[in-house]
């Protein structure tokens, strides 16, 4: 079973994502409740099947997935009560903080390598966060402060993912950096659709980019080296 999950997981995951997108496209609450949580649940199973916990630092990534799962469930019911949206926002805020914790703790290999353009990326992310927040500002109402905090944490997640360059193997860096950028895309689409302008098939785009983000982050954890003894 373990080997089957390792070898065939991508096909299982794509099937789950397809079912989630279908449920969203036909606006089926029941199917959404059944299939949407399976995105993160399947990734948790895959993470453990692939390599256990990949060292104690993976507890941060596992925590990020668990809070993402909580956020997924809460956001399913946001149309019934705004408190569910707030709960989902808080859950994903904590998930991002836990991912940041993993990015920091997993960056363990000392290296003199430096990524050209790191400062430019840093400034671009800050500029993107500021511009995006100002775009939404007039429509946020009482959520101005929560959305500002969330935006800062989301941008920080990308910056800390970038900071892993040269401190982990190249594959892990690329996977997690890609995942962080897709997470930003997913959250941006969600915010635009909710606070700025309705986006056609918004749920499909949001869920597709979200699933890609989580998958790449988990694969990045899977390809990270085990912790060095002096960091244990």
Where helices occur in 77-117 by DSSP H, the ranges are: 82-106
Domain ranges of the chain: 2-231
Residues near 87 by beta carbon (within 8 Å), at least 6 away in sequence: 70, 71, 74
Helices 82-106 and 144-162: angle between axes, nearest 10 degrees: 20
- The neighbour count for residue 108, using CB atoms within 10 Å, is 18
Q: How far apart are CA 126 and CA 36, in angstroms?
A: 31
Residues near 223 by beta carbon (within 8 Å), at least 6 away in sequence: 169, 171, 172, 175
Helix (H) or strand (E) holding 5: helix 2-25
Question: pTM (2 decimals)?
Answer: 0.89
pLDDT of 118: 77
Tell me which residues of the chain have a pLDDT lower than 50: 110, 112, 228-232
pLDDT of 224: 75
pLDDT of 226: 56
pLDDT of 232: 39
Q: How far apart are CA 62 and CA 65, in angstroms?
A: 5
CA distances from 67 to 22, 44, 204 (A): 24, 12, 21
pLDDT of 120: 86
């Amino acid at each position: 079973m373990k080997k089957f999950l390792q070898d065939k997981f991508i096909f299982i995951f794509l099937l789950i994502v397809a079912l989630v997108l279908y449920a969203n496209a036909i606006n089926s609450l029941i199917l959404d409740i059944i299939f949407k949580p399976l995105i993160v649940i399947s990734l948790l199973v895959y993470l453990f099947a692939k390599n256990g916990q990949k060292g104690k630092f993976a507890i941060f990534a596992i925590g990020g997935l668990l809070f993402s799962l909580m956020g997924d469930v809460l956001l399913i019911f946001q149309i019934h009560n705004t408190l569910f949206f707030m709960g989902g926002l808080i859950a994903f805020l904590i998930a991002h903080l836990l991912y940041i914790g993993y990015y920091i703790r997993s960056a363990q290999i000392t290296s003199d390598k430096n990524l050209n353009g790191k400062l430019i990326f840093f400034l671009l992310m800050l500029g993107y966060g500021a511009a995006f927040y100002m775009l939404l500002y007039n429509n946020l109402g009482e959520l101005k402060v929560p959305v500002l905090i969330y935006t800062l944490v989301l941008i920080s997640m990308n910056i800390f993912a970038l900071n892993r360059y040269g401190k982990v193997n190249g594959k892990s860096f690329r996977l997690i950096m890609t995942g962080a950028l897709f997470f930003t895309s997913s959250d941006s689409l969600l915010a635009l659709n909710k606070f700025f302008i309705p986006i056609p098939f918004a749920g499909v785009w949001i869920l597709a980019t979200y699933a890609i983000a989580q998958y790449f982050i988990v694969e990045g954890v899977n390809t990270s080296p085990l912790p060095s003894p002096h960091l244990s």
